[in-house]
Each structure stands twice: as C-alpha cells, then as structure tokens.
Amino acid sequence: MAPMSASELADLIEPHIPALRRYAFALTREPHAADDLVQDCLERALAHWGMRRQGGSLKAWLFTILHNCFISDRRRAARRGPHLELDEAPGLPVSAARQEEGLALRDVAAALRALPEDQQAVLLLVGVEELSYEEAAKVLAVPVGTVMSRLSRGRERLRQRLEGGRPGGLRRVK
C-alpha cells in the first residue's frame, strides 16, 4: 500500500477533531489542557499511522489514543504533584445561554463530575460521542459487558443526582 499524502491524512482525521476536543474538554475541564491533549493525540496518531489496523474504526482508534494520553498525563502529574498557573485565572467558558439553561447545564456538568471516572468516560463516549459499545470497550480496554454495566450504573446515578436524590448505596434499616 502506497503512503498517504499529508492532505489525504488531513481529510481522514479532520472530521474527528471536534469530537476529540469535546471529549478532551470533558476529561480535563480546561480549554487549553484539552487542546494540548488533542494535539498530543494527533501527533501520536500520525507518528504511529502505519501501526493502525486497516479495517478498524479510525474514530475509535483516535479516541483510544486520546484516552491513553489523558491517563498517561494524569499519572505523570500525580508523580510530579500539583501544578498551578499563577498568570491564568481559572474559569468556565462563557456562553450566551439563558439563565435556566445555564443552570441546567451547570447541574448536569456537576452531576457528571460527581460520577466515578470510569462511568464518566463511558457516558461521554457512548452518550455524547456516539461510539458503539464495542468501540467504547476498545477505547477503554475493557470488555463490552463492563461498558454496558458502567453505562447503566452511570445513567442511574446521573438521573438520581439530577432528581435531587442520592445515588444508590447503603441505606439504614431499623
């Protein structure tokens, strides 16, 4: 098989960048960190393009690389300790949403952040990025059944948090 030109590679990869950015932002919760994560993902994808399975899903492969970059970055940061930028004030992206919509989005984001990371990742990959269960399983390197159970538990916990209840757990019996 002949090597692809840069424009051919760009034509294949560019349509996936917005989805990668959304997932990266959901993981990092910082626009600059998300952009850096996507850039690292794309650099790694291009560097290892020849190792890609020809019949496999390009989207799932890119999401796997992004997820693995995120995990590697988290492990590296845990070894180094916290990093604080003194010249940048933390903040959320500003949107022109109406008050009620903004509050609803804030509540959903807070409820999603309160979920365990494994459930967050599955909800984002399947619910937001529309990956199949099989593709999400490949991205997260877990069995399909695990994806399905994490998705079910994550949806239930998210629903309970948004309805004002507490997620299922132990309850007191008299």
- Please give the DSSP secondary-structure letter assigned to residue 14: G
Task: Work out the mean pLDDT of the chain and round it to a whole number.
Answer: 84
pTM: 0.59
Please state, in angstroms and rounded to a whole number, the distance separating the CA atoms of residues 120 and 131. 14
The answer to whether the CB of 6 falls within 8 A of the CB of 108 is no
Q: In the predicted model, is pLDDT for residue 87 greater than 60? A: no
CA distance 20 to 43: 13
Q: Read off the pLDDT of each residue in 77-89 and give the average, rounded to a whole number.
A: 66
Cα(82)–Cα(76) distance, rounded to whole angstroms?
11
What does the block give as tokens for 47?
A: 């560097």
pLDDT at 97: 46
Q: Between these two residues, 169 and 75, which has the higher pLDDT value? A: 75
What integer is the mean pLDDT of 79-86? 68
Q: Which two tokens stand for residue 16?
A: 């996936």
Average pLDDT on 121-134 reads 90
Task: Identify the pLDDT of residue 111.
Answer: 86
Q: What number is the average pLDDT over the span 118-123?
A: 90
User: Which residue blocks in the chain are alpha helix, DSSP H?
Assistant: 6-13, 17-28, 31-47, 58-80, 99-114, 117-122, 133-140, 144-162
Instruction: Tell me how far apart the alpha carbons of residues 89 and 141 are, in angstroms, rounded to a whole number.
Output: 36
